[in-house]
Amino acid sequence: MASQDWFDKDFYKVLGVSKDVSDAELKKTYRKLARTYHPDSNQGDAAAEAKFKEISEAYSVLSDPEQRKEYDQIRAMGSGARFTAGDGSGGFEDVFSMFNQGRGGNVRFQTSGGAYDDIFSMFEQSGGGFGSGRFGQPTGGFRGYGGPTRGADLTARTTIDFVTATKGETITLQGEDGKPFKVKIPAGVSDGQKIRLRGRGRQSPDGGEPGDVVVSVTVRPHPVFTREGLNLRVTVPVTFTEAALGATIEVPTLGGDPVKLRVAPGTPSGRVLRVKGRGVATDRGTGDLLAEVQVAVPAHLDDRAREALERFHELEPKENPRADLMAKAQS
């Protein structure tokens, strides 16, 4: 923003506040206006976008105590002043004489084609050079429009057991400042999932919204159960005779009593038996327990058992269970 604009624009009027407005009230007023005219809330509305730029420009000056002081001093000289290179009988001297007082230097003017380096270096020494964000365009904020920026996010990690992940629980973690804070782990959280705590991160440096805390969750594996979405899966060994003749077996559940399942005669290894409603319970629904049958082959046989199996082998159907597999492989 060129310094000439400070003569022409009434930033207090733009924001609708008095000249003695407090910093807190200024911030409150700006944030209310920013929400109303923000481009994200007014897609395609050029007038709203222009208004947003205008109020952001005004706030970027008035929210800075040093800029506000200089702005008030310049405005006190009257909105009709102009930067002109005339006959040297006023102009720049009248405008900038107040800034030269007490600075220990003289302002040099050239009105016949020379540069005005000495004039503008005075502003650069005070931290307000052109393009610096004071006399230049305001920087940062909403998509380059100026205004408050959002605070930074903080990250945290936690490792929980399998049961806690399925049931949910409120745990306590330690923040960067050493202070404890609570995190609600929702039922059904998955390994690697992130939980976002809104507004619990770093504060904004200029009055914007605070950042978040993002908690990454690691779930310890369970020795028996695994997760498939909301379903729990368990591998259940059965004997050869149970699979061949059929049987009623017990299957464990997570955190509850075992359930009984019927294994039909001739059940092959790998068949999945489903127990409705015994999976992970969440607000989105409840999963099932999937029991995968695995035929256990005895590693040791005594003489009687071996003789019995040999007699069975003589009597069993002479079907090759791999015939279909071989045929498909050769097709």
Enumerate the domain spans of the chain: 4-144, 154-219, 226-330
Mean pLDDT of all residues belonging to the chain: 79
Please tell me the distance from the alpha carbon of residue 54 to that of residue 34, in angstroms, as a whole number: 10
Dump pLDDT digits (tens) for 109-121. Answer: 333 344 344 434 4
More confident residue, 5 or 105: 5
Please tell me the distance from the alpha carbon of residue 145 to that of residue 143, in angstroms, as a whole number: 6
Whether 169 has a pLDDT exceeding 50, the answer reads yes
Topology annotation, domain 154-219: HSP40/DNAj peptide-binding domain (2.60.260)
Topology annotation, domain 4-144: Helix Hairpins (1.10.287)
| Token output for 89 | 């009988």
Global confidence as pTM:
0.53
134 CB neighbour count, 10 Å cutoff: 23
62 CB neighbour count, 10 Å cutoff: 23
Q: Name the nearest CA neighbour of 263 among 247, 251, 276, 275.
A: 247
Q: Name the nearest CA neighbour of 109 among 123, 124, 127, 93.
A: 93
Is there a shared CATH topology between the 154-219 domain and the 226-330 domain? yes
Rounded mean pLDDT of 274-302?
94
Q: How far is CA 61 from CA 14, 35, 97, 265, 308, in A?
A: 12, 19, 22, 84, 96
The class (CATH top level) of 226-330 is mainly beta
Q: Which residues pair with 27 in a beta bridge?
A: none
Give the residue ranges of DSSP H helices in the chain. 4-8, 11-15, 23-37, 46-62, 65-76, 92-100, 117-125, 162-167, 240-245, 303-315, 323-330
- Looking at residue 146, what DSSP letter applies? B
Pick the most confident of 128-137, 141-150, 177-186, 213-222. Answer: 213-222
Pick the most confident of 36-40, 116-120, 269-273. Answer: 269-273
